[in-house]
Amino acid sequence: MKIFTQHPASVGESYFQHMGSALSFALPLLGAFLACLVHALLPFLFAKTGSRIIVSLHDRMVTHRHRHAPQAAQANQADQAT
């Protein structure tokens, strides 16, 4: 069962907290996908919707990453430096 809890624990979450967090990104990404798909066919629709959703999700992810798991964030920064 460690396979299901190792990553969530590394970011300071339980399995179900991590599931909720992941789904809170997945659903807006689905919306961005649909907006981009429609935009590909009808370029006058949803001209900025997909990119606006992506920027919003990126900002949310970066902002919350350090607040929820400071030790994990520091470890990730150390890994990236090497």
User: ∠ at Cα 44 (57, 51), nearest 5°?
Assistant: 15
Name the residue type at position 11: V
pTM comes to 0.69
Res. 52: pLDDT tops 80 = yes
Q: What is the pLDDT of residues 2-21, one digit of tens each?
A: 999 999 999 899 999 999 99
Residue 45 and residue 39 in contact, taking contact as beta carbons nearer than 8 Å: yes
- For the chain, what is the total number of helices (H) and then of strands (E)? 4, 0
Question: 50: burial class by Cβ within 10 Å (0-12, 13-18, 19+)?
Answer: buried
